[in-house]
Structure 1
Amino acid sequence: MSPRRTSSQNGDKDWENGSTISSPASIPEYTGPKLYKEPSFKSNKFIIHNAITRCCLAGKVNEPQKNKIVEEMEKSTANHFLILFRDSSCQFRAVYTMNPETEEMVRLTGIGPRIITPEMVESIYKYSSDRKQFTAIPSKTMSMSVDAFTIPGHFWQKRPGTPKKLGTPK
């Protein structure tokens, strides 16, 4: 063993003799950019935006409705959005936001029940950006990976129509 080496037989460094900093107080305070980022819930806003513009409400005919929905999504502070379909034919009806704690879905815009509970969900779908289509997921559990859902037909309430005016005979 050489005389200049200050280590024990097992290879541990002798920190008392090998240290170049005298005390922790001599370490300068870090003033660079903040590197730590607060954890946040993953958002599917971009995926739902793509699904609406490229699949559900594609084309010039649907542009006013599509613009209104996208505007409402931008105003919202929610992280997770869901599309409500009328049935398995994937006809767009509304956009909902999901509360991860209660798992309730609240209508943001569109036609459908104001609040939907997980028990009301009939089937769930995932959007494929590359294929531009929705695929049914063989599950009944709502999660953050779900992009769309349907509800049974009996939850679709018929709106009471306005009574027709009786014409006065001429």
Structure 2
Amino acid sequence: TSSRPINQNGDKDWETGSSGTSPAPEYTGPKLFKEPSLKSNKFIIHNALSRCCLAGKVNETQKNKIVEEMEKSSANHFLILFRDANCQFRGVYTMNPDTQELVRLAGVGPRSVSSGQVEAIFKYSSDRKQFSTIPSKTMGMSVDAFTIPSQLWQGGATHPERGNGGVSF
């Protein structure tokens, strides 16, 4: 006779007994569960540069340099700096999620911009291949581009004696 407990129906009691077979072998196939990672907009920004901001042969060298800088960066969130609301490309920035500070990765513009200095924010639509204004001032992961007030474009080099509103070029 078996030493395994049997319930009234003659079935094995799964709570206290064991089936006598070894446990399932360790799964060695492909990992189906991927560790959660911070969402990245690198692909979206790459598309925006290729199809909108720096489209065409004339911009290929500049676009390739910027894409190369993005690939080297460990950042997950990239933002395009526009000269103004006409969406004229100036540079690519990364955002520090803790400080909300934007730091220039490539292109021209201030070396760093605080989120308080951002004038307008934009979202890129891959379908329409264009940017649209987001009616908000909150810098989040859904933001793909931004503008700064025109006075921050004045000068170029930092002149501490004149002051530049805390922007460093």
The interval holding the TM-score normalised by the smaller chain is: 0.7 to 0.9
Whole-angstrom CA distance in 2 between matches of 1:32 and 1:92: 48
Cα distance in structure 1, aligned partners of 2:52 and 2:25 = 52
Q: Which structure would you say has the larger Rg?
A: 1
SS in 2 for 1:135: strand
What displacement does 1:28 show?
Answer: 4.8
3-state DSSP of counterpart to 1:136: strand
The equivalent of 1:99 in structure 2 is 96
Q: Which amino acid is the alignment partner of residue 15 of structure 1?
A: W
In structure 1, which of residues 117, 127, 130 is the aligned counterpart of residue 114 of structure 2? 117
Q: Aligned residues, how many? A: 150
Q: Pick from 62, 67, 77: which aligns with 2:64? A: 67
User: Over residues 101-140 of structure 1, what are the superposed CA-to-partner deviations in whole Å (9 max), with x where a residue is unaligned?
Assistant: 1111110011111111110111100000011000000000
CA–CA separation in structure 1 for the residues paired with 2:148 and 2:10: 74
Structure 1, unpaired ranges of 5+: 8-12, 161-170
% same residue: 67
**Following the alignment from structure 2 to structure 1, what is the Cα–Cα distance between the partners of residues 101 and 156?**
23
Q: Summarize the Cα distance change of 1:16–1:57 in structure 2 as closer, same or farther, 3 Å threshold.
A: closer
Residue number in structure 2 paired with 1:21? 19
Partner in structure 1 of residue 39 of structure 2: 42
Compute the TM-score of the two structures, normalised by the length of structure 2: 0.79
What is the aligned-residue RMSD (CA, Å)? 2.4
Aligned partners of 1:6 and 1:65: how far apart in 2?
76
Q: Deviations over 1:46-97 (max 9, x none)?
A: 1000100110011111111111111111111111100000110000000001
TM-aligned CA deviation for residue 159 of structure 1:
3.1
Partner of 2:26: 30
Deviating above 6 A after TM superposition, structure 1's stretches of 4 or more consecutive aligned residues are none
Closer, same or farther: CA 28–154 of 1 in aligned 2, 3 Å: same
* Inter-partner Cα distance in structure 1 for 2:103 and 2:19: 58
What residue in structure 2 maps to residue 157 of structure 1?
A: 154
Structure 2: distance between partners of 1:81 and 1:52: 12
